[in-house]
């Protein structure tokens, strides 16, 4: 029996997930909801199943779902996850999982109480490059983590507004923060500088277009993550310097440097988003949370680093993660 899936939010990333789920044998999309009702209807027309317009609560009650994909912008998380969890439904939640720690922690607690299968969509973890980096650095003493996300400006209007998206450090660079945490462990302290320097003429823009964040990890390792949304952008990736090995990687390229020389590998064939959905659907089907590489609680921890960075950029003071 296929896992029956409903969507809340049928925009850009939702459609990418829908295209993947359509190729996954044990998944079946049966219901769609979006405040823009035409988007829910368009998804239902394309992938089969019913549109519930803007009424996700009705969808949870009537669609016979086994799981929900929540693909909302950061500002739009209200009770969509809470009602799904009340209905006992497993959750796949796009990153960043919320705009505030209060909302994220409320949902985290509800998920823990209900014990439903849950995933925060940090798909970088499913890349082969991430697996190789983890394997290469296992047992090594990590000293320094450098990361960068030099993207352009996404076309959606909410993204450029700080009170809707949280800015690039929350929105996109969260992938790099999550990878840094995956490899080097939890973060203890954050200090940041951010500015809107160049893109001041862009309509409605209030997010910084440049920023840099210093990290101190609980292990004592240190890091820096730098980002910009000034087009055309450059690269996204990380360098991790350990005692015996240095690893340089992004989503597709991996380089390992050690006293035995330099090894490079390139990853292409299976898209990480596809793999992430395969794992989620299998986890729901088998009721096995261990298949999921990033649970909701992990998403809360990665969110906390971005929120601390934003707070530090405003106050000018370092922020302890324990205070966020
Ligand atoms: N993991 C990734 O690689 C990746 C890539 C892109 C986007 N994302 C994340 O996915 C989320 C959505 O991004 P997007 O690019 O799909 O944005 P989008 O604007 O294209 O789509 C968002 C959709 O949510 C709908 N929506 C807004 N408020 C709603 C509400 N209250 N109820 C129901 N629907 C509502 C909108 O109408 C829209 O269709 C963001 O958090 C973004 O960071 C992740």
Domain ranges of the chain: 3-123+273-293, 125-269+303-323
CATH 3.30.360.10 assigned to 125-269+303-323? yes
CA angle 69, 324, 196 (to 5 degrees): 80
Any atom of ligand 1 within 6 Å of the Cβ of 91: no
Which residue's CA is the closest to the ligand 1 atom numbered 31? 76
User: Based on C-alpha coordinates, what's the Rg of the chain?
Assistant: 20
Determine which residue's CA is closest to atom 22 belonging to ligand 1.
Answer: 11
The number of the ligand 1 atom at minimal distance from the alpha carbon of 36 is 37
pLDDT in tens, 134-176: 999 999 999 999 999 998 899 999 999 999 999 999 999 999 9
Cis peptide before 232 (omega within 30 of 0): yes
How far does residue 13's CA lie from ligand 1's centre (Å)? 6
Ligand 1 binding pocket includes 11 (Cβ within 6 Å): yes
Helices (H) and strands (E) in the chain, counts: 11, 15
249 alpha carbon, distance to own chain's centre: 18
Mean pLDDT computed over every residue of the chain? 97
**Per-residue confidence (pLDDT) for residue 269, from 0 to 100:** 59
The CATH-assigned architecture of domain 3-123+273-293 is 3-Layer(aba) Sandwich (3.40)
Q: What is the pLDDT of residues 55-93, one digit of tens each?
A: 999 999 999 999 999 999 999 999 999 999 999 999 999
- Check pocket membership of 171 for ligand 1, CB cut-off 6 A: yes
Q: How many residues does the structure list for the chain?
A: 324
Residue bearing the CA closest to ligand 1, atom 42: 73
Is the Cβ atom of 157 under 6 angstroms away from ligand 1?
no
Coil, strand or helix at 38? helix
Q: Is 52 exposed, middle or buried (0-12, 13-18, 19+ CB in 10 A)?
A: buried
- Residue 151: CB within 6 Å of ligand 1? no
Query: Does residue 6 have its Cβ closer than 6 Å to ligand 1?
Result: no
Look at strands 118-121 and 236-242 and give their pairing: unpaired
What one-character DSSP code corresponds to residue 317? S
- Residues in the chain predicted with pLDDT less than 70, given as ranges, are 268-270
- Name which residue sits closest to atom 26 of ligand 1, judged by CA: 9
Distance 11 CA to ligand 1 centre (A): 5
Q: How confident is the model at residue 151, as a pLDDT?
A: 86
Q: Which atom of ligand 1 is nearest to the CA of 123?
A: 1
């Amino acid at each position: 029996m296929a896992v029956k899936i409903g969507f809340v939010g049928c925009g850009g990333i939702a459609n990418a997930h829908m295209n993947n789920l359509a190729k996954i044998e044990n998944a079946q999309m049966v219901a769609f909801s979006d405040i823009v009702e035409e988007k829910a209807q368009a998804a239902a027309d394309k992938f089969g199943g019913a549109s519930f317009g803007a009424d996700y609560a009705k969808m949870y009650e009537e669609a016979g779902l086994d799981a929900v994909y929540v693909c909302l912008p950061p500002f739009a998380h209200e009770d969509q996850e809470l009602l799904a969890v009340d209905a006992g439904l497993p959750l796949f939640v796009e990153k960043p999982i919320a705009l505030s720690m209060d909302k994220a922690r409320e949902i985290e607690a509800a998920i823990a109480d209900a014990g439903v299968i849950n995933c925060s969509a940090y798909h970088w973890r499913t890349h082969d490059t991430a697996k190789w980096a983890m394997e290469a650095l296992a047992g090594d003493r990590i000293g320094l983590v450098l990361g960068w996300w030099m993207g352009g400006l996404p076309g959606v209007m909410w993204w450029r507004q700080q009170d809707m998206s949280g800015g690039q450090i929350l929105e996109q660079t969260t992938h790099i923060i999550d990878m840094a945490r995956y490899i080097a462990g939890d973060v203890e302290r954050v200090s940041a500088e951010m500015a809107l320097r160049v893109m001041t003429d862009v309509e409605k823009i209030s997010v910084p277009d440049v920023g840099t964040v210093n990290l101190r990890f609980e292990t004592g390792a240190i890091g820096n993550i730098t980002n910009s949304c000034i087009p055309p952008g450059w690269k996204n990736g990380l360098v991790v310097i350990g005692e015996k090995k240095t690893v340089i990687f992004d989503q597709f390229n991996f380089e390992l440097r050690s006293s035995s020389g330099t090894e490079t590998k390139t990853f292409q064939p299976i898209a990480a988003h596809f793999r992430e959905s395969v794992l989620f659907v299998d986890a729901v089907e088998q009721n096995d949370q261990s298949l999921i590489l990033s649970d909701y609680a992990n998403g809360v921890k990665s969110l906390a680093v971005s929120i601390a960075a934003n707070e530090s950029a405003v106050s000018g003071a370092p922020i302890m993660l324990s205070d966020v």
